[in-house]
Amino acid sequence: MIFEGATVQSFVGVGVFRGRVIGPIRHMPPALTPPPSGEGLDSSTSAETAAAQLKEAGAQVKATLLERAGRASGDGKEVLQATALMATDPMLIKAAIKLINKGSSAERAIWDAGDTVAATLISLGGYMAERSHDVLDVRSRIVAALRGVPAPEIPDSEEPFILVADDLAPADTATLDPAKVIALVTAGGGPQSHTAIIARSLGLPAVVAAKGVAELVEGSQLYVDGSAGVVSSEPGDTERAAVKRWLEKASLLDVFDGDGQLADGSKLALLANVGGAKDAQEAAAANAQGVGLLRTEFCFLGNSTEPTHEDQVAAYKGVFDAFPGQKVVVRTLDAGADKPLPFLTDSTEPNPALGVRGYRTDSTTPGVLARQLAAIADAAAQSQALVWVMAPMISTPAEAADFAALCTTAGLKVPGVMVEVPSAALTSRHLLDRVEFASLGTNDLTQYAMAADRQLGPLAELNDPWQPAVLALIQATVEGAVAQAKHSASLALEDALPKPVGVCGEAAADPALAVVLAGLGVSSLSMTARALPAVAAVLRTVTQDEARRLANRAVAAASAAEARDLVRAGLPALSELGL
């Protein structure tokens, strides 16, 4: 949305990470020019040579992206590893070689193959539509490698700047230097897109889905409010005063003391999402009360074969050792959809977003999960962390029971499930009869509940965890845990506490939404470590009863915007803290 004055343009998008800044605009460079339409093979180049050159260029791009992944951490590392795999993806490379064999040059073949594969993925929607952006980015990088020129990169500048783009590829976003790039603004994307997730992990003020910003003048001054989702050109005294107020209050949000609680002393554990030992060490330094989500994909992505038992044990132990005596919740391999693995998933599956991913891979490739659980158990035995294990993409009580049995065989005593599918939320009572805890993955739960691709800017309003339907599913999950406890108590003729239900999606990092989640009765919130201080500060301003009243208002709202506005109006601490 654009509002124009005499010389000032204001844009309203979706704010994805807090902060107010003013700085000069730098646009992403123009995309690589496509090879001429119909460009054929040079007379001196055979199809076999062109195909070999294409494969070599793909391998070069993959190696470059994996090298960047090695320098990244957390969400950025995982995104880069997944994007690197696309550079040698059989679907893309085979389609290009087929065109080469018909006479196309290597550049034109990969360009057209990229268009075809991207269109196919977009038609599938969901995760596959997200991957279309990766395909087009990788295609351009392969063409650049074939030409022997650098791919378009984030501009360099001697002074800090605000990066403005139509959208950003994961390969660009994941390795941003926050000392140079002080804010991100994109015309596309949504609140749970890769750009948004990485901006949160880097602690960068960011606004996405701000249509029209790509037309702003290079080098001109821009004001960005990452909390409100507002962007304004030609900032004046009002905007400068807002930045000053933010800087004065931001110091209050720098440190979390390691004690998550509400104003009445009610405890709510504040945990960290991590993707490796480096992340875990940073989370421990940020005083996280444990790990609510260890993404184990970091151990698998980028590999053409299953990692060895020894490699897995070492990788997991590196995380566990950062949290002696504290809870570490491990998510088993969430392969498939946007994270295909050559030794585990089928690249020709017609609709991977609704196909064999997460726990479901155990039905088609048995053994990988059991071996992973054995490695987790061995790593746990060599550390002092309190290790819990959960499976992604559980849809039925039978799947939960099967996973619990696998954990028992491996010697893991606290099995749990991710609640990402609406069916799991609606049957949580029966799921929790079979496992010891549940964790709400709000990113996927929102996407599946609203049937909205989280990467698409036009669907940002739908793909919003504030949607009352999503909040109702969270409420149903917690109520299922309470019902399960009552049922167990009636059988045992003694009281039983509800089994833990936590949240590990991006929703937990929103301070206002964290209050709603607390009011709905969740037992823990897990987020990027950078979000811990702000979430903790706001939670301490409300009692459990106040949080419950705000949660009820949000669930009863008619829209995500209404739910958000009702809750924010009841939380004066947000404006006091500049949130």
* pLDDT tens digits along 254-283: 789 999 999 999 999 999 999 889 899 999
pLDDT at 384 over 60: yes
CA distance 368 to 455: 30
CA distance 527 to 104: 48
- Of the residues 27, 133, 430, 504, only one is catalytic, namely 504
Q: What is the pLDDT of residue 71?
A: 76
CA distance 227 to 244: 15
pLDDT at 245 over 60: yes
pLDDT at 6 over 50: no
Break the chain into its structural domains and give their ranges.
2-29+153-252, 47-147, 254-565
Q: Options 3.40.718.10, 1.10.274.10, 1.20.1060.10, 2.160.10.10; which CATH number does 47-147 get? A: 1.10.274.10
Q: What is the pLDDT of residue 178?
A: 84
Q: What confidence tens digit (pLDDT) does each residue in 565-576 have?
A: 999 999 999 988
pLDDT at 396 over 60: yes
Which two tokens mark 309? 């038992």
Q: How confident is the model at residue 455 (pLDDT cuts 50, 70, 90)?
A: low
**How far, in Å, are 164, 208, 244, 483 from residue 231 at the CA level?**
11, 10, 16, 46
Architecture of domain 254-565: Alpha-Beta Barrel (3.20)
Average pLDDT over residues 459-481: 92
CA distance 273 to 439: 12
Q: How confident is the model at residue 348 (pLDDT cuts 50, 70, 90)?
A: low
Amino acid at 292: G
CA distance 428 to 434: 10
- Of the residues 27, 133, 194, 430, only one is catalytic, namely 194
pTM of the model: 0.71
In three-state secondary structure terms, 342 is: coil
Average pLDDT over residues 167-188: 84
Amino acid at 474: I
CB 332 within 8 A of CB 296: yes
**How far, in Å, are 408, 436, 438 from residue 433 at the CA level?**
15, 8, 11
90-102 as b/e: b if 16+ CB within 10 A: ebbbebbbebbee
Residues in CB range of 41: below 8 A, 6 or more apart: 47, 50, 100, 103, 104, 105
Q: Is residue 407 flagged as an active site residue?
A: no
pLDDT at 460 over 90: no
CB 330 within 8 A of CB 389: yes
Which two tokens mark 541? 């301003």
DSSP classification of residue 33: P
Q: Options 3.20.20.140, 3.50.30.10, 2.60.120.280, 3.40.50.2000; which CATH number does 2-29+153-252 get? A: 3.50.30.10
Out of 10-14, 110-114, 398-402, 455-459, which region has the weakest mean confidence (pLDDT)?
Answer: 455-459
- Between residues 342 and 550, the one the model is more confident about: 550
DSSP classification of residue 164: E
pLDDT at 74 over 70: no
Q: Is residue 504 flagged as an active site residue?
A: yes
Q: How confident is the model at residue 151 (pLDDT cuts 50, 70, 90)?
A: confident
pLDDT at 355 over 70: no
